[in-house]
Amino acid sequence: MAITIHHLKQWKQDGRPIVALTAWDYLLAKTLDQAGVDVILVGDSLAMVALGYETTLPLTLEEMLHHAKAVARGVSKALLVCDLPFLSYQESPQQALSVGGRVLKETGAQAVKLEGGYPAMAETVHFLTQRGIPVMGHVGLTPQSVHQFGGYRKQGKDERDAERILEEAIALEAAGAFAIVLEHIPDALAATITHKLGIPTIGIGAGSDCDGQVLVTADLLGLSDWQPKFARSYANLRQTVTDAVQAFSNEVRTRKY
């Protein structure tokens, strides 16, 4: 049974946590899908983990489409969501519609994710969802605004900022978003948003009271050359790969292989 946006909403009501991970190529996507991940996100973090850019900002729409198509070939069960790259949607709701439309038509993703809240992005989310494009929102630390934040800083730490983020989340739900990523905000704020909204929240660095959790898979696997403190690793693949490469090199150089 393929997972749809309706399962996510139902799971929130049932209290069943949602498992989400990022993917950037076919083999990884297939492995995650077969391991039973609920949501596979072609996150624009692929700019850093797959393409070596310093931030997510340089990622182009064409690069995103290329990776999303590869991911889609590996997914048969998970809900596939694709990030809209920086400046591919912020100009106007019409721009977001034509880019979101391309993503759905060309990649096979079932939904798009975009960053930001009230008022500009809520209007865009409304425009897209009224035209058949499911949207996942993303508030808190939105990495496409890294320069505006002055770094990858925790958001919503003071009362005013917390109130702003809560209002953004409420506005995104009213605009028709089917779920919202809450990134790097205080646990208590994430819990408040989660209880206030009827749609699921998916946290990253936002505590365990969210309706689900997402990680950048390179962080989870211990592959990244840098990762935020809140990202937990469940393996050390960088070391495993290094050991395997060195074992192979050793056998080749001693003519054992």
Task: Write out the residues near ligand KIV by the rule CB under 6 A.
Answer: 22, 43-45, 83, 181, 204, 214, 216
Taking CA atoms, 63 is separated from 56, 104, 240, in Å, by: 12, 15, 29
Instruction: Give the Cα separation of 126 and 93 in Å (integer).
Output: 9
Taking CA atoms, 40 is separated from 30, 238, 249, 255, in Å, by: 10, 22, 35, 42
Helix (H) / strand (E) containing 182? strand 179-183
Instruction: Give the Cα separation of 121 and 91 in Å (integer).
Output: 10
- Cβ closer to ligand KIV: 88 or 246? 88
CB-based contact 201:156 (threshold 8 Å):
no
The CB density around residue 151, as the number of other CB atoms within 10 Å, is: 7
- Cβ closer to ligand KIV: 204 or 223? 204
Closest residue to ligand KIV in the complex (CB): 43
- Cβ closer to ligand KIV: 1 or 79? 79
Among candidate residues 144, 139, 99, the one with its CA nearest the CA of residue 122? 139
Residue 106: active-site member: no
CB-based contact 134:111 (threshold 8 Å):
yes
Q: Which residue among the candidates 63, 163, 183, 251 is catalytic per the annotation?
A: 183
Phi, psi angle pair for 195, to nearest 5°? -75, -30
* Catalytic residue ranges: 183
